[in-house]
Structure 1
Amino acid sequence: MTRPTAEDIERLFVGPGARYTRAEVAAHSGVSPELAERLWRALGFATLADDAVAFTDADVAAMRQVSTMLGTGLIDDDTAIRMARALGQTTARLAQWQAEIMIGAMLPPDGSPTDEQIGKVLEVSERLLPGFEQVLVHVWRSQLAAAGTRLLTIADINEEVAPTRATMAVGFADLVSFTRRARELDERELADLVEGFESRAADVVAAHGARLVKTLGDEVLFTAPTPEQAAAIALELVGEEMRVGMAYGPVLPMMGDVFGTTVNLAARLTALARPGTIVVDAALAEALDAFEVVRIRRRPVRGLGMVQPYVLRRSSS
């Protein structure tokens, strides 16, 4: 078996080879050259020379779909650009992650793989691609439904479906002494540690109807519509080698992330927490009638002045 080329990989995933320049894609799709270039950059692809023949029939078909959506008047150019950026950034990480999983599962961890082994990865990918594609669309639709449900839950609290600011619980969970542990582990052991931590956090957050906003190696950021959900997540997550900080208040949702003083306060409280403990702010503590919280001494936190933290514990009852 010969070693697959870049052309082989591109042909498998996006179809026949390049036939068009950027201007030709715009002409065939009905999108202006300027918008086509902006969309291409928003999707995360490099800007190519005007005369570069680098686009396929699939590119034309995709851009034609954008043109059709714009033609309905339901979205404008700026909205299309923002949606393209969300799509590009998310799928780039997804594709990289999935490629790493497949390669890690099929190629030897040490030594150079043979042409036959690399070819086998491509062969298996070709067989699995239709199934993965179908599952991807289903999961995406299901996640849209979950996002809509969360917005409605937030609306019950904030009295609007798409608030500029939303009141919710924000939590950070991080691994204690991660830098020291990273020095003691080899690359594979470190990867297993991080993946295990992120996987467990994602499972726990999802099980309680909340959202894992992002992972940062040794730390995860999650949000929950209610203080009770956040408390249940923290109590299930926390362990001897983990700590959690949480706050409750207004946040600014933007680009799939969350911003604001509440987020900053949750991060600062995490830094105050000892291994195996959960530290929360006064607003979250006051909202937790069914949980045990213990007031501790006031602390100064960078950028926020003096705050009154509480320790969240499992109820003795």
Structure 2
Amino acid sequence: MMAAGLPDPKEIEELLLGGELRYTRVDAVRLAGVSREFSGKVWRAFGYPSMPDETVAYTEGDVAALERLGRLVEDGILDEDGVVRLVRAFGQTMSRLAEWQVSLLGSMLPQDANDASSAEAVQTIVEIAEKHIGEFEPLVVHAWRRQLAAAGTRALGTAATRENGDPAGRPMTTVGFADMVSFTQVSRELEEIELARVVEWFEETAADIVASLGGRLVKTLGDEVLFSAETPETGAEIALTIAATIQDETEVPDVRVGAAYGPVLPLMGDVFGTTVNLAARLTSLARPGTVVIDSELAAQLENEPDYEVARIVRRPVRGLGIIQPYVLRRNEKPKSADNEKPKSADTDADTGRDADRDAEAS
């Protein structure tokens, strides 16, 4: 039973959908000219719940979407599997965006509305949506086009320099993970709202740094972010800036960053491969507030005057055997003419002990 004073859920649904619920599934399939099986695959890929055939649950917009997707198959642009993958990407992305937007609207309610009854708070959100949803929708398309243009440019750049990739044609990329230290302990100590604010600040800060320096935020995982960059220098700058910026914020745990350079497999907006796995493993070797990189990235940066790479103890890592990690730091002093090479002695970054002796002892 609905609480007194709350708006009718159907009215809210139709407001947000931008149209009246007027068709059953049978109607939608017939009007769109697609098969029942195809509509079911698409509906599930969008992440929508299955509806009984006799339930009126479809709008003109739903019919139009099915019709457009059907034309993609008819015109040979995509096969059915391709359409389902495309729709799933849209559905997963939009689901997260919608949840975030509703949460944001709720957090922006005036203080007195938060203290008032649930009915009044919901009504306030509905009024905001009714008045401004038309302004939000073009922003979604604008952001998508901007991201599409950036992704297309990256793809063209990769194709133009394909000879610099690995034999399989995968692009050489710098990838890095930034991981909040002792997040499990922090999550036990903070209230849920405080924890959410810490995570949101961390994600926003990392995203701003990655974007401003020319990289790409591949994904966020709560207490961890994965980024990529086309050049070793950009990846190094992102890694060091994230570590330093988070370290300066006293209310947020430090991060440790691991980065690697090598071929990656871009797929559905994500990146895969040994290089990605190596970056993740290097993160676990870094101390709070520091950046640890692999030997390939170290080799790319060794002649860069802005950075200093220091070889540390070789470590065994799960699935990759024994690797040679390096600590990456900013070079506070310009390299002199007689000191152009980075440190070559195997030293432990924390103790200064000889790394080979440590490796033999272990």
TM-score by length of 2: 0.82
Equivalence for 2:323: 307
Task: Give distance in 2, aligned partners of 1:45 and 1:164.
Answer: 37
Aligned to 1:223: 228
- Rounded to whole Å, the distance in 2 between the matches of 1:267 and 1:255 is 20
Higher RCO structure, 1 or 2 (CA under 8 Å, sep 6+): 1
- Code of the residue aligned with 1:260 in structure 2: it is G
2:89 maps to 86
Cα distance between partner residues in 1 of 2:29 and 2:114? 46
1:283 to 284, 292, 296: 296
| Letter paired with 1:234 | A
Note closer, same or farther for the CA distance 1:37–1:107 as it changes in structure 2 (3 Å cut): farther
For residue 74 of structure 1, what is the aligned residue in structure 2? 77
Shift of 1:75: 2.0
Partner of residue 145 from structure 1, selected from 140, 149, 158: 149
Alignment match, 1:172: 177
Cα distance, 1:153 vs structure 2 = 2.8
Cα distance in structure 2, aligned partners of 1:114 and 1:35: 40
| Partner residue of 2:119 out of 115, 121, 132 | 115
Amino acid corresponding to residue 242 of structure 2 in structure 1:
L
1:216-239 C-alpha deviation (Å, 9 max, x unpaired): 111101111111110010111103
> Aligned-pair distance for 1:242?
1.4
1:267 aligns with 2:280: yes
For residues 1-317 of structure 1, the aligned pairs below 5 Å read 2-106=5-109, 113-159=117-163, 165-239=170-244, 240=247, 241-288=254-301, 289-290=303-304, 291-316=307-332, 317=334
Aligned-partner Cα distance in 2 for 1:98–1:159: 43
1:7-62 per-residue CA deviation (whole Å, 9 max, x = no partner) reads: 12111111343222222211101111111110001111122223332212221121
What is the identity percentage for the equivalent residue pairs of Structure 1 and Structure 2? 51
Shift of 1:159: 4.1
**What is the CA deviation profile of residues 103-127 of structure 1, one whole-angstrom value per residue up to 9, with x for unaligned ones?**
1111659767431221011101111
Output the CA distance in 2 between the equivalents of 1:256 and 1:137.
Answer: 18
SS at match of 2:47: coil
Measured against aligned partners, the alpha-carbon deviations of 1:177-201 in whole angstroms (never above 9, x if no partner) come to 1122222211221111111100000
Q: Secondary structure at the match of 1:217?
A: coil
Q: Single out whichever of 251-260 and 198-207 deviates more from structure 2.
A: 251-260
Q: Which runs of 5+ in 1 are unaligned?
A: none
How far the C-alpha of 1:276 sits from its partner, in A, is: 1.1
Residues 39, 66 of structure 2: 8 Å contact kept: yes
Deviation per CA, 1:261-290: give whole Å up to 9, x if none: 111110110000001110000011111131
CA distance in 1: counterparts of 2:58 and 2:52, whole angstroms: 12
Distance 1:132 1:15 in 2: 13
Give the TM-score normalised by structure 1.
0.94
Q: Flag the structure with larger Rg.
A: 2
Residue aligned with 2:85, SS? helix
Separation of aligned partners in 2, 1:127 and 1:159 = 53
Q: What is the letter of the counterpart of residue 207 of structure 1? A: S
SS in 1 for 2:219: strand
> Can you give the 5+ residue segments of structure 2 that lack an aligned partner in the other structure?
248-253, 335-362
Number of paired residues?
A: 316
- Contact conserved, 2:114 with 2:121, CA < 8 A, in 1? no
